[in-house]
Amino acid sequence: MSVATAVHGNYIGGEWRDGAETYRSVNPSNTSDVVGEYTRGDRDDAKKAIEAARAASPAWSRSNLQQRFDLLDRIGSEILSRAQELGTLLSREEGKTLPEGVGEATRAGHIFKFFAGEVLRLSGELVPSMRPGIGVEITREPAGVAALITPWNFPLAIPAWKIAPALAYGNCVVFKPAELVPACAWALSEIIVRNLAEIYGASAAGAFNLVMGSGSRVGDALVTSAGVDALSFTGSVAVGKSLAVKAADRFLRIQLEMGGKNPLIVLDDADLDVAVNCAVQGAYYSTGQRCTASSRLIVTQEIHDRFVAAMIEKMKTLVVDDALKPGTHIGPVVDERQLAQDVSYLEIAESEGARRAHGGERVACGTEGYYLSPVLWTETTPEMRINREEIFGPAAAVIRVKDYDDAIAIANDTEFGLCAGICTTSLRNAARFKRDSETGMVMVNLPTAGVDYHVPFGGRKGSSYGPREQGSYAREFYSIVKTAYILP
Ligand code: ADP
């Protein structure tokens, strides 16, 4: 096996391969810093990867379980032992702060460890039939070839939480990362394929493939190729919807995680410090570039003014700077296109009559980067576009409401349903909220962003489609149930 040094290639059928084109990944904190040069694959590369995965599938689906456990466990251990290095690469390439980057790398390691354990927990059921003497066995089989299309905002954790269960439950993988983060994808893939080759030798060539390239070429080839059995995607609603339509055309098994417009309700009986911490962390950390970010702060009237004042005080302490600098709270926006989108919403908010209470300014740091200070809007209404559309930046809007009933009605009045939070000291209000929220995840006195890796992740309505990701629930997507009737 040879590893390209200058240009980082794709990994297809057990080999590193350069494609026809290359491009550079750039550090959003410092645009003169080139992270590396990467191959941009095309449709043909995607097709070859699918063929390689298909060829490997029969053997991989029945591969030795001890070895499969060892593989995922070793990948997890290596990621954990290199978390500082991988986290630094992540922060340099994607722009979240170094503690966030190292935290994400660590989480990716833990995810592989968890799914190593899942290999040993594969099980079925044996039940008696209605008909005497007949036995019924319910077992799970791998879905087959899994295509995994991932976004840029969690460039290690999201690939990990798709790749690890795909391999654990016996699927072969074609991994297509987002174009903005090839360095993270390549580094993760290098760890996977080196350990794969060390444990299985050439016999598992094709079990894992990396195809970097654009969504319109590589991504589209994955959803339209008959050789793919299951497709898991995390990204925008528009692309998710187009994939679902194409998938339906050939009954492709599909799982989509898309946007959010997550509400955080702050009730009069909330602990103010808790509420401000939840709102600041949930809305602005990771530069607000999380599908679970709190973008609508729904606040009841008695606490409203105190909450806004405390938010502004807290926001004044946030340091916006180079992601790798110690002490930075908020790194840059990921790229120019995303920055332009964030800035366009500043104009939209103004034209709709929202008050910019704090932030929303381009920040000059020591290097050229896409820096924007977190913005808080007040005096906003639920119909405003800033309260309906996902901005995916460091931006949140306060909506003033009368009481809990008003708050929950507005919280649920959205096409999304990923996560919702409430800050309250009332057990009754917390219990009502857990029941009333039309989302896949609810948080009480916690930020909407920040979830564990061993429990299900996902939403309702326009946020998610298909079975849940993560934890043992991941097997619903990556395995298929078979019911066998046996007359001995
Ligand atoms: P984001 O704005 O977060 O990048 P996208 O939905 O554009 O969200 O991208 C998420 C992933 O989907 C990326 O890997 C991207 O390359 C891929 N993608 C984009 N367009 C398509 C498409 N038409 N078909 C398949 N994959 C796509």
Q: What is the pLDDT of residues 87-111, one digit of tens each?
A: 999 999 999 999 999 999 999 999 9
Confidence of residue 3 (pLDDT cuts 50, 70, 90): very low
Mutate which of 50, 149, 211, 225 for ligand 1 pocket (most atoms within 8 A of beta carbon): 149
Output the average pLDDT for the chain: 97
In whole angstroms, give the CA distance from residue 334 to residue 348: 21
Whether residue 8 contacts residue 31, with contact meaning beta carbons closer than 8 Å, is answered with no
Catalytically active residues are 257, 291
Opening angle at CA 460, ends 455 and 464, nearest 5: 80
Q: Would the pLDDT of 300 be above 70?
A: yes
CA–centroid distance, 11 to ligand 1, in Å, is 20
Q: Give residue ranges with CB within 6 A of ligand 1.
A: 149-152, 176, 178-179, 214-216, 219-220, 223, 235-236, 239, 242-243
Atom of ligand 1 nearest to the CA of 149: 14
Calculate mean pLDDT across residues 320-345: 98
Residue 186: its H or E element: helix 182-200
Residue 459 to residue 405: CA distance in whole angstroms: 22
Ligand 1 center–CA 478 separation, angstroms: 21
- What pLDDT score does 6 carry? 86
Instruction: Flag whether the pTM goes above 0.85.
Output: yes
Tens of pLDDT, residue by residue over 333-360, are 999 999 999 999 999 999 999 999 999 9
Strand partners, 255: 232
Task: Give residue-wise pLDDT tens across range 9-26.
Answer: 999 999 999 988 999 999
3-state SS, residue 287: helix
Q: Which pLDDT band, with edges at 50, 70 and 90, does 487 fall under?
A: very high
Residue 294 reports pLDDT greater than 60: yes
